[in-house]
A and B are shown apart, each in its own frame.
Chain A
């Protein structure tokens, strides 16, 4: 197999794993202020993501790094064309990161309120804008050989916004399922109820997204040419349904894993549909950035493949290790015993 194709698949895997992992801590970040009715409960919600959120964001860095090293032309043009949008995401992620660490370092109500707001905004804005960015990539950007014919507001078109809302809802359900399996007591009960209710909204938006995609993008063409690939969107729909079934039986661990599969399959539906483009041009297909016209040299890709084969398993191993260490369920009584609170 050609190295470009290997790296295209890896590029997809990195984004899918990133959304699967950072998705639930974005969800918790958006929900902690609503599910937590008092300071101890809010702190508890943040505590469930405390040891893992930064490791999850490593996958974003690797996704960006893989784009840079494997497809430098796409990287350069994407960061120029989507400059303002990506900077807003960056600012939000910076604020969110420090907010998670800072909120436990002060006692006053104003202090907590400011950082809670930063955690909420820093979780909501990237969730929405990653959706908007991917919606626009699915749709294609208005670019020709010379430049990008759009602004930040061109991105906020109906399809981009729908994808953004879809992402936000995916992460909200994902985050509330995470809280259902990681907490005890009132927070758990509220998270379970919220996941059940929000599932209906997610299902409606998911159906709208699937239908709108056939009008707004060319994503389905690859599936029509090779119908075998339809297994991926079918798995996405199946896992969406199984979230509801498992949640109904109170099997929240199974529901959370279904939600993981759902996010991975949604991402891969987009990735398969994009092939061989990384960013299609909606002006003319000849200006599209494909994995062949924007990749590094075969030699670079070969070295990177070897490096990735060594280090990706190491990263996966230590992340699994972290999740194992912090696998215990938390309740508000753990908050007061601990001196390193969020």
Chain B
């Protein structure tokens, strides 16, 4: 857990030496500059970036684990008789969406205060001819529109998932015959 006030980590777990050097520069001996090497005003919001990154990577490992588990459990071909595992998989549907969103938080929040890293500050990139009301309206508009579309999507996915493949195919056949008559 980071502690931005005192410029240190309040709690540390699972330390892997030299890993970041390798991730950032593909060389385990490369020097990674710490946050303290940058002036305070050039640092991103630490806690949010820190937690989002860990959550995203954690979810990534969870997906690998679940996929591995499903390969093991389906080896005998009796996956259908394991409702507990199937339930876990069903409710894990939402997790990749969460991982994608927090991945964006890592990328966007972690890059601050830059909008184009080391070239253009976000504060300098703000449009002068758009006022906050316009931005607020468009933000609310996008939220409502995408919220509405998400609801429709969930409704349709549930509808078709509940029917199952056989029922949909037979329904299509019967309806086309019925309409033709």
Contact = CB atoms under 8 A, between A and B. Distances in A.
Given A95-B145, A98-B149, A339 B172 contact: yes
A81 B141 CA distance: 19
A89 B179 CA distance: 38
Nearest to B135: A83
Contacts of B172: 339
B166 to A, nearest CB: 14
A105 B156 contact: yes
B37 interface: no
B83 to A, nearest CB: 29
A337 B129 CA distance: 54
A31 B130 CA distance: 36
Interface string B120-163: 00000001111000100110010001000100100010000000
Contacts of B176: 336-339
B141 A87 contact: yes
Nearest to B146: A94
Interface in A78-111: 80-81, 83-84, 87, 91, 94-95, 98, 102, 105
Contacts of B180: 333, 336-337
Interface in A105-123: 105
B129 A148 contact: yes
A76, A336, A337 — most chain B CB neighbours (10 Å): A336
Nearest to A102: B152
Interface residues of B, number: 16
A2 interface: no
A80 B145 contact: no
Contacts of B130: 80, 83
Contacts of A94: 145, 149
B127 A80 contact: yes
Given A336-B179, A337-B176, A102 B138 contact: no
A150 to B, nearest CB: 9
Given A80-B130, A98-B149, A148-B129, A91 B156 contact: no
Contacts of A84: 134, 137-138
A81 B156 contact: no
A40 B128 CA distance: 51
Contacts of B138: 83-84, 87
Contact of B134 (A83, A95, A102, A333): A83
Interface in A327-342: 333, 336-339
Interface string A12-31: 00000000000000000000
Contacts of A80: 127-130
A311 to B, nearest CB: 26
Contacts of A98: 149, 152
Nearest to A146: B128
Interface in A138-190: 146-148
Nearest to A94: B145
B172 to A, nearest CB: 4
Given A146-B128, A336-B179, 20 more contacts: A77-B129, A80-B127, A80-B129, A80-B130, A81-B129, A83-B129, A83-B130, A83-B134, A84-B138, A87-B138, A91-B141, A91-B145, A95-B145, A102-B156, A105-B156, A147-B128, A147-B129, A148-B129, A333-B180, A337-B180
10 contacts: A77-B129, A81-B129, A83-B134, A84-B138, A87-B141, A98-B149, A336-B176, A337-B180, A338-B176, A339-B172
7 A-B pairs with the lowest CB-CB distances in the bound complex, closest first: A336-B179, A80-B127, A339-B172, A148-B129, A80-B129, A147-B129, A83-B130
